[in-house]
Amino acid sequence: MRKYVMTGAQGSGKGTQATLLCTAFELVHISVGDILRWHVGNHTKLGAHVRRYVDAGQLVGDDLIEEIVRDRLDEHDWNHGFVLDGFPRNQVQAEFFCETYDVDAVIELRISDDIVTDRVLARRLCSGCGLDYNLISHRPQVDDRCDVCGSDLVRRPDDNAEALARRLADFHDRTEAVLDVFRRKERVVTIDAERDVDEIQASIRDALGLESTIAT
Ligand code: AMP
């Protein structure tokens, strides 16, 4: 059983790195942002409640987020473990999490704000299959069309300069405090996330003592 928390600024590659780790080690990727976007996209009651926060890049209330995380972990579909991505995001959430759960390590992806801004503003998402693109490093073959399913590529509503500035400010003000809470109890590994995807993944596995071959 392997249990990890992945933390880092928006655009630091948390989702990509968590997916690679989960695929290789049969872990379950739990992304709070994905859960919230699913509710927004499927017009659930919860989605209606959180939409304006998610679209504006503002943090959703702690009680609601804690309930979502508790319910998700209570599903116990993670026999080999999980990577929790996008939670905890502030000190209150971190205290809640540390009181209730243990993890093997917290993976901090470190990246400068300038690189985050370039990456996030170039990010596009397929409106059909959800595949991620980046207009700098992973362009579609035909402009604004998904290579796989042909649907339109769109920007996440919160991938704009104003929402990004708010999310980065939140990250520096609140999320970095999360690491201080974790350091009291758990192992925190800091990874330079300004490199290639495969190099970052190899460093994560090395730091966690996992075998370092990248699964294809
Ligand atoms: P993400 O995909 O992790 O960037 O999250 C997208 C949005 O979901 C954030 O901008 C927040 O509005 C909301 N969100 C995700 N995780 C949390 C959290 N732990 N606490 C509060 N809001 C969250």
pLDDT reported for residue 157? 85
Q: How close is the Cα of 155 to the center of ligand 1, in Å?
A: 16
pLDDT reported for residue 216? 46
Q: How close is the Cα of 137 to the center of ligand 1, in Å?
A: 24
The dihedral over CA atoms of 14, 93, 97, 6, expressed in degrees to the nearest 10, equals 10
pLDDT reported for residue 170? 84
Gap between the Cα atoms of 110 and 12, Å rounded: 7
135 in contact with ligand 1, CB cutoff 6 A:
no
Per-residue H/E/C for 11-76: CCCHHHHHHHHHHHHCCEEEEHHHHHHHHHHCCCHHHHHHHHHHHHCCCCCHHHHHHHHHHHHHCC
pLDDT reported for residue 214? 53
pTM for the whole structure: 0.85
Relative to the CA of 93, which ligand 1 atom is closest? 19
pLDDT means over runs of 10, the chain (216 residues): 93 92 96 93 94 89 95 92 94 92 94 91 91 88 95 90 88 86 91 94 95 58
Question: Is 184 annotated as catalytic?
Answer: no
Q: How close is the Cα of 86 to the center of ligand 1, in Å?
A: 6
Q: Which residues contact 76 (CB under 8 A, 6 or more apart)?
A: none
Question: Is 45 annotated as catalytic?
Answer: no
pLDDT reported for residue 96? 93
What is the token pair recorded at 62? 């702690």
Among 14, 72, 119, 205, which one carries the catalytic annotation?
Answer: 14
Question: Is 3 annotated as catalytic?
Answer: no
65 in contact with ligand 1, CB cutoff 6 A:
yes
33 in contact with ligand 1, CB cutoff 6 A:
yes
